[in-house]
A and B are shown apart, each in its own frame.
Chain A
Amino acid sequence: MADENSKTNLPPLSLHVPEPKYRPGDPVDYSDVDIPKAGDQSRPDVNSDPATMRDMVYDMVRVLDDDYKAVGPWDPKLPDDTLLKMLKTMAQVRAFDDRLHRMQRQGKTSFYMKCTGEEATSVAAAMALHSDDMCFPSYRQQGILFVRGYPMVDMINQIFSNREDKLKGRQLPIMYCSRELGFFSISGNLATQYPQAVGWAMASAAKGDTRIAATWCGEGSTAEGDFHSAMTFATVYNAPIIMNVVNNQWAISSFSGFAGGERTTFAARAAGYGIAGIRVDGNDPLAVYAATQWAAERARTNNGPTLIEHFTYRAEAHSTSDDPGAYRSAQEREEWPLGDPITRLKRHLIHRGVWSKEQHEVLDKECIEAVKIATKEAEKNGILGHGLHQPFETMFQDVFEEMPWHLKEQSEQANKEREIKWPS
């Protein structure tokens, strides 16, 4: 036993409760954030032993430099039309978010979540995957659906929970699902998709398939047990999977310090599991594409899983249910040292001489117009709470494949109540 007397001269213990640097009204200074020079990061072979590339979890893969040139070994050297598609898709996602966010404010639905500032982490990532690779997204990866060609009107039908909603009005807005496009049903419970994605990847490997899985979660949800279970299973079975952590700095009002971000990077979680880890500039679409492409090739050649931390910033609120002005400094967004992914890609393409400011203005207008058309189309099918919902009995379907007696009884009861509540 340690002598009690030896403790008498020690100061009392104190509990550390993390506190973000900036609160509302505070001036923001990001000069202490270490942003490595673009192009400086070496690109290991895709079959490299994770032990030989541990420095990558503290570094940051960057391709676009301050002059918007693509530099270094991670430059994916994409053709112009691919880059233009990437730009257009991100612009469309942003226009969609803006309009649907407004629709929620107008009372046409209950809830919305934008991905403003984080478009690259889903759009560029999805473009680097094969179209039949399986995605297990979190709730801010609508960009994947845009890349894979899911019709906007179907997304809006879901957001409005109307009679054409493919999910029959059962899910909170934006919790999309498309088996056809390899987009797993989004759960509101965080990081549950992580072990599921690993399981899917294990199944694909066990079956001798060629498809891989990719999953996304926020830095905040890396604290969930599911994240760590998934990392363990991924490394144990060398699963063909890409695990993306979108570090957008904020989990609703809790800064990344509450997930351990004060101590190390989120990519560094990979090192402890012996998994390849890459930290990437999440606002650099080319870097996101390159890192995903690297990880996809690694997975597809039986070289195992990769954890990618996308270092980015959640430019807007968590959802329509919170006001970031109440918990963080508005200057954070303005001062964010990695800029905006759409602006950066736009300037890169202008620099390449294949795009112009004028063309971009036209693009923005076209994107807004396309969302307007889709919204009008979807509104014909109804908006939330205005009667044009799914047939009543659908409430009781799909709980089980076959409806058991107790649900049949409850369904009858609901229909009787309906006649009393809404006599036609």
Chain B
Amino acid sequence: MAVMNMIDAINSGLDNMMARDEDVVVLGEDVGYFGGVFRATAGLQEKHGKTRCFDTPISECGIIGVAVGMAAYGMRPVPEIQFADYIYPGLDQLVSEAARLRYRSAAEFTSAITVRSPFGGGIFGGQTHSQSPESMFTHVCGLKTVIPSTPYDAKGLLISAIEDNDPVMFFEPKRIYNGPFSGYYDKPVEPWSKFEASEVPEDYYKIPLGKANIVRAGEAVTILTYGTMVHVAKAVVEEHGVDAEVIDLRTLVPLDIETIEESVKKTGRCLIIHEATRTSGFGAELSALVQERCFYHLEAPIERVTGFDTPYPHSLEWAYFPGPVRIGEALDKIVGELTS
């Protein structure tokens, strides 16, 4: 065991996989000699060589496109898109190519690629370094979407993603790279080293895709969330003294519907939290699924707490962020239904 923050854990997962499997290659803008703008690929080029970890031109279409070609050759590329906000020039290669190749070739060709990309706000990144575009990818059949919330999960899920024979979108909540986040931007960040989830094996291990994690068991309400918002939700729950069951989904596609269903049927209440914009966000899908499957167990309307339907503002970042106030109000409302 070593103490790792989320960057260390991702780096360790990449390192393990590159050592285990010669077909694993890492490519992206600034990932080589420099080791990535967030340092997630630091040391990999030096250790594994320039043809295993290398810089690319600034062309997301090219990065994803060549990764699809490398996968067709038989490699297992792990392209990094420097910020999720930059991914759009590569969208056609993901949506029309990587995601559909297995289907359209009747499995003669596959796209075993894992696209890593930091996402989400809370670092004063402005509108082009803060977006949460996950629901654009969950809408695409043939793509898996994974979002870790701790160093331990990040490594275990990344290894599963790399070994998966289908294309995986691996979104890393960059706000919590260094430590979990309570939602109070004016409080100092506590480093991961103070938390148990920073204890990460240096060796290979896996966390299966499609399995949610109940991070807090409770009876009063089910909270469905992922990424940064897992930590914000936990903090608000404690603050409000609500006996909530907090579920970290970890994988959006394939979704762990069993865990969700079981929990909502138990609590009869459901709050969905994500940082992404509200309209057509993944929360809409979750809300529909819970309604379809748990309607007769529900004792209150399902609530969604999300980012607003605006671009991510720079100066008003903390007005935008779905923090303790927005979550607290929703929680009071949904749990308040109990007594009203």
Specify whether A and B are partners: yes
The answer on a CB contact under 8 Å between A398 and B107 is: yes
A 173-210 binary contact with B (CB < 8 Å = 1; else 0): 00101110000110101001011111111111011000
CA distance A202 to B59 in the complex (A): 16
Assess whether A225 is interfacial by the CB under 8 Å rule. yes
The answer on a CB contact under 8 Å between B109 and A194 is: no
CA distance A128 to B165 in the complex (A): 34
Distance in Å: Cβ of A316 to nearest Cβ of chain B: 26
Assess whether B1 is interfacial by the CB under 8 Å rule. no
The answer on a CB contact under 8 Å between B108 and A171 is: no
The answer on a CB contact under 8 Å between B106 and A203 is: no
CA distance A170 to B107 in the complex (A): 12
Assess whether A46 is interfacial by the CB under 8 Å rule. no
B residues near A197, Cβ cutoff 8 Å: 69
CA distance A320 to B286 in the complex (A): 44
Assess whether A167 is interfacial by the CB under 8 Å rule. yes
The answer on a CB contact under 8 Å between B65 and A184 is: no
Assess whether A422 is interfacial by the CB under 8 Å rule. no
The answer on a CB contact under 8 Å between B89 and A225 is: yes
CA distance A335 to B306 in the complex (A): 64
The answer on a CB contact under 8 Å between A199 and B66 is: yes
Q: Which of A228-236, A304-312, A352-360 contacts B (4 or more CB under 8 A)?
A: A228-236
The answer on a CB contact under 8 Å between B65 and A194 is: yes
User: Given A198-B69, A203-B75, A400 and B166 touching (CB < 8 A)?
Assistant: yes
The answer on a CB contact under 8 Å between B102 and A400 is: yes
The answer on a CB contact under 8 Å between B142 and A400 is: yes
The answer on a CB contact under 8 Å between B96 and A226 is: no
The 6 tightest CB contacts between A and B, nearest first, are A199-B69, A195-B65, A199-B66, A229-B62, A196-B69, A203-B73
Distance in Å: Cβ of B233 to nearest Cβ of chain A: 25
Q: Which one of A167, A185, A236, A400 contacts B57 once the chains associate, using CB atoms below 8 Å?
A: A236
User: Given A177-B108, A404-B253, A198 and B93 touching (CB < 8 A)?
Assistant: no
Assess whether A416 is interfacial by the CB under 8 Å rule. no
B residues 5-46 touching A (CB-CB < 8 Å):
25
A 322-335 binary contact with B (CB < 8 Å = 1; else 0): 00000000000000
CA distance A229 to B89 in the complex (A): 10
A residues near B216, Cβ cutoff 8 Å: none
A residues near B165, Cβ cutoff 8 Å: 401
Assess whether A10 is interfacial by the CB under 8 Å rule. no
- Beyond A187-B96, A213-B69, A400-B142, 18 additional pairs, beta carbon < 8 A: A134-B73, A178-B108, A179-B109, A195-B93, A196-B66, A199-B67, A199-B71, A202-B70, A203-B70, A203-B75, A206-B25, A226-B93, A229-B62, A229-B65, A232-B57, A398-B102, A400-B144, A401-B166
Assess whether B255 is interfacial by the CB under 8 Å rule. yes
The answer on a CB contact under 8 Å between B69 and A203 is: yes
The answer on a CB contact under 8 Å between A398 and B106 is: yes
Assess whether B240 is interfacial by the CB under 8 Å rule. no
CA distance A405 to B254 in the complex (A): 8
Assess whether A1 is interfacial by the CB under 8 Å rule. no
CA distance A189 to B56 in the complex (A): 24
Q: Which one of A179, A230, A405 contacts B105 once the chains associate, using CB atoms below 8 Å?
A: A179
A residues near B64, Cβ cutoff 8 Å: 195
A residues near B71, Cβ cutoff 8 Å: 199
The answer on a CB contact under 8 Å between B109 and A233 is: no
The answer on a CB contact under 8 Å between B65 and A177 is: no
